[in-house]
């Protein structure tokens, strides 16, 4: 016999949801367990009650981050997320990332991958890479990079750092490495020098010559001869207006010819990035010394 205790008689206006489906008794709420229990037979209803005092709800670990925007592009149930929703979420992520960083930090983050890649391909030492990063930071803070070709500005910063540390890297090498035209790089260099008031640093060709001589396999005797030729012509009218890389490459080739060593113009062109035509036009000046 069910134990109704007369509660259903005390609640004449009860709803159908408050009635036990087993004994027609009254269902009461057990807030400690979030359940509805019959006072007559002890039946537990499958309908859970909501706690109005609960402001937050912590989801289980298995339900957190249910939707994944990435390679799978599916929500927790496996349903595919549409392209419109996916693009909207990606735009929200991008705006959130932009709002958390200043303009300078954001531009540096965008330029850093190319800077590291190109300086690594050029074989620059760490001190020159750090100097490049410093110049680029100053350029961004001064608003020099507010134009279309930002890659050219990165190449210009690399060029100025190489000049400061006497590294034999010219505009042609930068153009081949970065894929930016020489005209764009030269324009960026001029703009960078005007904005930051940088002085033009002249590289000593004698600091480049040992690298070229070692790469083509020149003997010690020929190296000393090339160095003597270069110092003899330095400061004379024949060397005026010529890049240091051109003077060093021509001195190496002229010394190789005088010492009857097998050094081709094509090999020197590949190492120094000075064209074989330029070498042919200028090496005879060194043979006269």
In a domain, residue 237? The reply is yes
Residues 224 and 277 reside in one and the same domain: yes
Q: Which tokens hold the place of 50?
A: 């909501």
Residue 220 lies in a domain: yes
| 18, part of any domain | yes
Nearest Cα to Cα of residue 209 among 123, 128, 286, 284: 286
Q: Please state, in angstroms and rounded to a whole number, the distance separating the CA atoms of residues 208 and 265.
A: 17
Q: Per the domain annotation, does 31 fall within a domain?
A: yes
Q: At what angle do helices 126-141 and 182-196 cross, to 10 degrees?
A: 70
Do 184 and 221 reside in the same domain of the chain? no
Residues 178 and 213 in one domain: no
- pLDDT for the residue 85: 78
Domain closes at, from 151, 176, 196: 196
Report the pLDDT value the prediction gives residue 11, as an integer from 0 to 100. 45
Q: Is the pLDDT of residue 158 over 90?
A: yes
Mean of pLDDT values over 232-256? 84
Domain of residue 245, residue span:
205-287
pTM confidence score: 0.48
25 or 117, greater pLDDT: 117
Quick one: average pLDDT of 88-106? 71
Residue with tokens 């909501």: 50
Q: What is the pLDDT of residues 214-241, one digit of tens each?
A: 888 889 999 999 899 888 887 777 777 7
In 3D space, the residue among 245, 257, 243 whose CA is nearest the CA of residue 286 turns out to be 257
Q: Rounded to 5 degrees, what are φ and ψ at 63?
A: -100, -10
Same domain, 126 and 188: yes
Query: Dihedrals φ, ψ of 95, to 5°?
Result: -65, -35
286's tokens:
């060194």
Residues 6+ apart with CB under 8 A from 192: 135, 139, 144, 153, 156, 157, 160, 198
62 pLDDT tier (thresholds 50, 70, 90): very low
Contact (CB, 8 A) for 81 and 74: yes
The last residue of one of the domains, among 147, 170, 196, is 196
Q: Provide the domain count of the chain.
A: 3
132 domain residue, yes or no: yes
Residue 88 in domain: no
pLDDT of 155 reads 92
Across the chain, mean pLDDT equals 77
Write out pLDDT tens, residues 121-146. Answer: 988 888 999 999 888 888 888 877 66
Domain harbouring 228, CATH code: 1.10.472.10
User: 151 with 233, same domain?
Assistant: no
Assess whether 182 and 232 both reside in one domain: no
């Amino acid at each position: 016999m069910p134990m109704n205790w007369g509660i259903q008689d005390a609640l004449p206006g009860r709803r159908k949801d408050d009635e036990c489906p087993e004994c027609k008794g009254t269902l009461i709420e057990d807030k400690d367990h979030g359940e509805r229990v019959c006072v007559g037979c002890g039946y537990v209803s499958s309908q859970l009650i909501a706690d109005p005092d609960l402001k937050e709800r912590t989801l289980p670990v298995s339900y957190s981050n249910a939707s994944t925007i990435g390679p799978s592009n599916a929500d927790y149930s496996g349903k595919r997320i549409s392209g419109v929703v996916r693009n909207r979420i990606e735009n929200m992520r991008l705006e959130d990332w932009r709002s958390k960083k200043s303009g300078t930090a954001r531009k540096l983050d965008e330029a850093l991958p190319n800077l590291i890649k190109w300086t690594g391909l050029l074989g620059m030492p760490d001190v020159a890479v750090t100097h490049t990063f410093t110049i680029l930071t100053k350029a961004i803070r001064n608003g020099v990079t507010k134009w279309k070709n930002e890659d050219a500005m990165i190449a210009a910063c690399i060029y100025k750092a190489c000049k400061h540390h006497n590294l034999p890297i010219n505009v042609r090498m930068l153009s081949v490495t970065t894929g930016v035209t020489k005209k764009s790089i030269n324009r960026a260099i001029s703009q960078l020098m005007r904005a930051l008031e940088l002085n033009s640093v002249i590289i000593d060709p004698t600091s480049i010559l040992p690298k070229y001589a070692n790469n083509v396999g020149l003997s010690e005797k020929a190296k000393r001869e090339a160095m003597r030729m270069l110092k003899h012509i330095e400061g004379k009218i024949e060397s005026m207006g010529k890049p240091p890389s051109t003077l060093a490459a021509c001195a190496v080739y002229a010394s190789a010819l005088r010492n009857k060593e097998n050094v081709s113009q094509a090999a020197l062109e590949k190492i120094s990035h000075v064209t074989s035509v330029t070498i042919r036009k200028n090496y005879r000046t060194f043979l006269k010394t």
